[in-house]
Amino acid sequence: MDQNQAIPELPDDSLLDSINKKLEALSSLSKDCCIYKVPERLRRLNPDAYSPRIISIGPLHHGEKELEAMEDHKMRYLKCLVPKTSLSLEGMIEVAKTWEAKARLCYAEDIKLSSNEFVKMLIVDAGFLVELLLRSPDDVDDSMLDRIYGKQKMIVDVNHDIMLLENQLPYFVVKKMFGLLDGGHGRGLPLIPIIHGHFKKYWMSIPSFSTSISDSETCHFVDLLRSIHLPLSLSLPGKSMKMMDSTLSAKVIQNAGVKLKPADSSTPPLDIRFADGVLTIPKIKISDITEALYRNIILFEQCHRLKAYFSDYMMFLSCFVRSPMDAELFIDQGIIVNRRGNAKHIASLFDRVLKETTQTSYSTFYYQTVYDNLQAHCNTTWNKWHAILRRDYFHNPWSIASVVAAVVLLLLTFMQALCSFLAL
């Protein structure tokens, strides 16, 4: 043995105990995990898209000072809900205790709340959400003194907050709380259509409802909002992602003869098709919450290792809406319905929501076949010339008349020359 070689020291008991305690304190990983913290690099890009404005739902923002004012309103909603259930508050507490273990496993973070604090949070927040869903602005009058539905700004902020990934309760908790209602207050009704109806009432960007959404597989509100956007049948074969052509844009493909057309209103947003020179895109409705909604759905897809359908949708749109001119073209064709910002804001939207997200070279791209067919169409010489003829010479009746007159004159000149030649 080399005398100069250092003899490793054995760890003393305090160091060993310290490491053991750390190892023992580690929470177990669970397949039920579905609610994640936002990476700070993303939050810095747009804090409002990831952080609640006025209300905390779930443990990740529980107890934050700037959100404390809404705790009283949550309690008032719970107070109104309890008489509508088949249980007393005491009975509700006992039932909620059975939800705790599974609910804790749904969070990627180790939740520091005590058992009593956690159960109280489940009851208050789930009770608030169920009562919120049961109410409607049409049902609220001055006598109810409802500070949420009674103020437009308040309900807008609440709706913004309950669709943030960090601000979620597990869906099963909300469903079980909803299941405690007695027969006269909605018990037995499907919950997912009620949640969808609530969001669609306030946000024009929420698409129509699909009955194919699985109640048992829904993780939370963000997961539900993602599912609503997906095509009924995910039939396009995902292919390995290729390098995108940076020269393609809405204006370029239109100049190559591609017709841009909005899909029927019942078509799910991600169901984009290209056939016979027509690119059919479901309407994209831009409102105040659009960017926050897109960002949280994409973050959930990536954290939860889901197929990146929504991320691919944003990437596909970003390939063609590259400039204000492209955005204006989509607006003129009825594909984008704009309720917020100008064409410049829209042109950068799809790139903004993809910034700092992870794209891997080996991942499949859901729209690769559509993109390849579009690119092939645009690269065909005949399509280019055909589009130029239509654009430059057949875009109005006077141009058509001029071209016809020129062709007739050319034919007459040719015939005159031919007759003169034959007469020789």
Q: Tell me 185's DSSP state.
A: G
Spell out the residues 6+ positions from residue 253 whose beta carbon is closer than 8 angstroms to its own.
Answer: 260, 279, 320, 374, 377, 378
The label of the residue with tokens 């006598």 reads: 143
Q: Give the pairing of strands 259-262 and 278-281.
A: parallel
The CA distance from 228 to 235, in Å, is: 16
Provide the pLDDT for residue 361: 47
Q: Is 406 exposed, middle or buried (0-12, 13-18, 19+ CB in 10 A)?
A: exposed
Per the prediction, the chain carries an average pLDDT of 85
Asked if residue 249 lies in contact with residue 322, where contact means CB atoms within 8 angstroms, the answer is yes
Measured CA to CA, the distance from residue 254 to residue 329 in angstroms comes to: 9
Using the structure block, give the residue that is written with the tokens 């080996």: 362
154 or 407: which leads in pLDDT:
154
pLDDT band at 6 (very low <50, low <70, confident <90, very high): low
Cα angle 117-118-123, degrees, rounded to a multiple of 5: 100
pLDDT per residue over 326-346, tens digit each? 999 999 999 999 877 788 889
pLDDT of residue 140: 63
pLDDT in tens, 292-301: 999 999 999 9
Evaluate whether 182 touches 241 at the Cβ level (below 8 Å): no
Average pLDDT over residues 266-278: 91
Question: Mean pLDDT over residues 31-52, rounded?
Answer: 94
Beta strand ranges found along 118-193 (DSSP E):
none
180-194, 318-332, 351-365: which range is least confident on average? Answer: 351-365
> Residue 384: how many CB atoms within 10 A of its CB?
15
Side chain identity at residue 245, one-letter code: D
Does pLDDT of 407 surpass 70? no
Among 46-55, 225-234, 274-283, 411-420, whose mean pLDDT is lowest?
411-420
Amino acid 261: pLDDT: 95
Mark residue 81 as left, alpha or beta (left: phi above 0; alpha: psi -120 to 50; beta: remaining).
alpha
More confident residue, 415 or 134: 134
Q: Are 151 and 54 in contact, with CB atoms under 8 Å apart?
A: no
